[in-house]
């Protein structure tokens, strides 16, 4: 029998494999014992499951003290930021007001072009104030040519006299009687212009110029009296003593449509709004309350109602605190302006100063670098105070070209040293003209 030398080695290998298998089985059994069976875990809706969820939520939430600390810190940050944000918000309101005014003016021009007749913008002045916060469309009624066929008007000349040194062109007649200055024109006398001070423009014979016509107080009872002004008609006298057919251009009437309401805290400052680049007067006019507090304002400040409401009524021009109406032709240019009972064609760019309502008629604070009041001009030392909107660099000029109708906006350019010469003391006239100059240059450059 032959002995197999490899048998011991084979038996040894079998024993080793058997040991490995047993060790592996023990490890697997240990894992199964230590692993928690699915059936033994707490159900989410069980008492133990809900408690475990509450413990998890409690670990993630903030305490009441921590929450109050966060709220307190946020409140401090907001309170510190508000004063820094307020000037930017107020400046944004002024800019927004200027943009809305620009769009409203362009809308009025577009409506005039669509209708084929003049349309105006009615700037409503607040009572006893030079501030305006609402703008309306102003519709111009069709021309009035009498109540029936054969309506005529006759103008007569009243020569100078002791009581009136100037000649006077008038239309007069007896109320309720046929004939007279106006024939077949009862609506004009009783409806369209029934009161003293009512004004319209009249063209005779369907040709020539429009003459400004104002109803005045008659000297004889039960009569009517209209005065014809030649200023708007290049002082060309009309035909006298001849009954002629006529056309009457009535003043615009405020539309019933919803107005433009300027943003809160903003207004048009009519005290410093007007026509042209400023005044050339070297002697202080009615702009200075110490000189003439109840007279009409000078050129450049035509919209300023400078009349003192506490002064005697005889020293005031009526009506007090009326609207400013800018009338556009269908071609887009400005036909006329109606303000404080007068109507006239502008001879320059119309400027509206947009600022803060609380700064209207509020005098600016005087400082060494910004004195207030200022002397009127180098040759007239009568002082003239200025208000905050005029010296505020955040105010905006809205300018309207009287010939083109172009609307532009520009920043206020008030400067207490317009000639850049420290040796020359500032004057109101020069500083004001400098403020208007930037707006005028922006308008001439095509606006923005």
Q: Are 319 and 284 in contact (CB under 8 A)?
A: no
Report whether pLDDT(328) > 60: yes
Residue with tokens 């009572």: 127
Residue ranges with strand state E in 103-237: 119-125, 131-139, 152-153, 156-158, 168-174, 182-183, 199-204, 211-215, 223-229
Q: 30-34, 318-322, 334-338 — which one is most confidently predicted on average?
A: 334-338
Q: Are 343 and 336 in contact (CB under 8 A)?
A: yes
Report whether pLDDT(333) > 60: yes
- CA–CA distance, 340 with 321 (Å, rounded to integer): 7
Q: What angle do CA 70, 72, 75 make, to 5 degrees?
A: 110
Residue with tokens 């020539």: 208
Report whether pLDDT(290) > 70: no
Write the DSSP symbol of residue 160: -
pLDDT for res 332: 93
The lowest-confidence range among 17-31, 57-71, 228-242, 265-279 is 17-31
- CA–CA distance, 34 with 30 (Å, rounded to integer): 6
pLDDT for res 435: 85
What does the pLDDT average to over 72-90? 76
Report whether pLDDT(82) > 80: no
Q: What is the mean pLDDT of the chain?
A: 79
What does the pLDDT average to over 201-207? 87
Q: Tell me the per-residue pLDDT of 356-390, one tens digit each, with 9 for 90 and over.
A: 999 988 888 888 888 888 888 777 777 778 889 99
pLDDT for res 398: 94
pLDDT for res 77: 84
Q: Are 414 and 394 in contact (CB under 8 A)?
A: no
Q: Where are the domains of the chain?
A: 91-139+262-444, 152-251
- CA–CA distance, 298 with 20 (Å, rounded to integer): 117
β-strands 182-183, 152-153 pairing: antiparallel
pLDDT for res 278: 67
Q: What is the helix (H) or strand (E) element at residue 112, kind and residue range?
A: helix 64-115
Neighbouring residues of 13: CB distance < 8 A, sequence distance ≥ 6: none
Residue with tokens 């000297």: 219
Per the DSSP assignment, residues forming a β-bridge with 387 are: 363
Residues above pLDDT 70, as percent of the chain: 75
DSSP letter string over 275-319?
A: ESS----SS--TTSTTT-TTS---TT-TT-----TTS-GGGSPSS
pTM exceeding 0.85:
no
Q: Tell me the per-residue pLDDT of 244-289, one tens digit each, with 9 for 90 and over.
A: 999 988 878 898 889 999 998 999 999 889 998 766 665 555 445 4
Q: How confident is the model at residue 79 (pLDDT cuts 50, 70, 90)?
A: confident
Closest to 265 measured CA to CA, from 85, 93, 128, 82: 93
Domain 152-251 fold: Elongation Factor Tu (Ef-tu); domain 3 (2.40.30)
Neighbouring residues of 110: CB distance < 8 A, sequence distance ≥ 6: none
The lowest-confidence range among 25-34, 327-336, 415-424, 432-441 is 25-34
Q: How confident is the model at residue 2 (pLDDT cuts 50, 70, 90)?
A: very low
């Amino acid at each position: 029998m032959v002995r197999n030398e490899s048998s011991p080695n084979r038996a040894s290998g079998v024993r080793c494999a058997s040991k490995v298998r047993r060790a592996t089985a023990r490890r697997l059994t240990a894992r199964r014992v230590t692993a928690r069976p699915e059936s033994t875990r707490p159900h989410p809706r069980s008492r133990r499951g809900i408690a475990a969820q509450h413990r998890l939520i409690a670990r993630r939430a903030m305490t009441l003290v921590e929450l109050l600390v966060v709220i307190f810190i946020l409140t401090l940050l907001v309170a510190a930021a508000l004063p820094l944000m307020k000037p930017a918000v107020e400046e944004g309101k002024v800019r927004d007001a200027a943009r809305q005014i620009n769009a409203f003016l362009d809308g009025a021009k577009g409506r005039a072009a669509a209708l084929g007749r003049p349309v105006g913008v009615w700037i409503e002045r607040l009572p006893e104030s030079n501030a305006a916060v609402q703008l309306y469309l102003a519709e111009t009624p069709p021309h009035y040519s009498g109540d029936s066929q054969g309506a005529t008007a006759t103008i007569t000349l009243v020569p100078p006299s002791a009581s009136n040194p100037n000649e006077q062109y008038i239309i007069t007649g007896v109320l309720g009687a046929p004939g007279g200055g106006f024939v077949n024109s009862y609506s004009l006398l009783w409806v369209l212009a029934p009161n003293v001070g009512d004004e319209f423009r009249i063209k005779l014979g369907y040709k020539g110029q429009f003459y400004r016509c104002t109803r005045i107080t008659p000297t004889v009872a039960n009569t009517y009296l209209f005065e014809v002004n030649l200023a708007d008609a290049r002082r060309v006298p009309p035909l006298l003593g001849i009954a002629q057919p006529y056309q009457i251009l009535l003043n615009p009437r405020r539309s019933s449509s919803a107005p433009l309401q300027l943003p809160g805290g903003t207004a048009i400052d009519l005290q410093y709004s007007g026509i042209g680049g400023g005044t050339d007067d070297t002697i202080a006019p009615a702009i200075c309350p110490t000189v003439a507090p109840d007279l009409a304002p000078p050129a450049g400040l035509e919209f300023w109602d400078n009349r003192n409401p506490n002064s005697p009524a005889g020293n005031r021009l009526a009506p007090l605190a009326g609207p400013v109406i800018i009338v556009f032709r269908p071609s887009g240019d400005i036909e006329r302006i109606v303000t404080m009972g007068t109507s006239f064609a502008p001879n320059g760019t119309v400027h509206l100063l947009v600022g803060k309502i609380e700064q209207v008629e509020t005098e600016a604070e005087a400082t060494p670098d910004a004195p207030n009041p200022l002397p009127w001009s180098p040759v007239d030392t009568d002082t003239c105070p200025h208000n905050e909107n005029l010296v505020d660099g955040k105010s905006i000029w809205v300018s309207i070209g009287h010939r083109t109708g172009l609307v532009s906006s520009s920043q206020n350019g008030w400067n207490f040293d317009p000639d850049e010469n420290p040796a020359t003391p500032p004057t109101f006239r020069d500083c004001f003209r400098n403020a208007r100059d930037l707006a005028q240059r922006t308008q001439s450059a095509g606006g923005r």
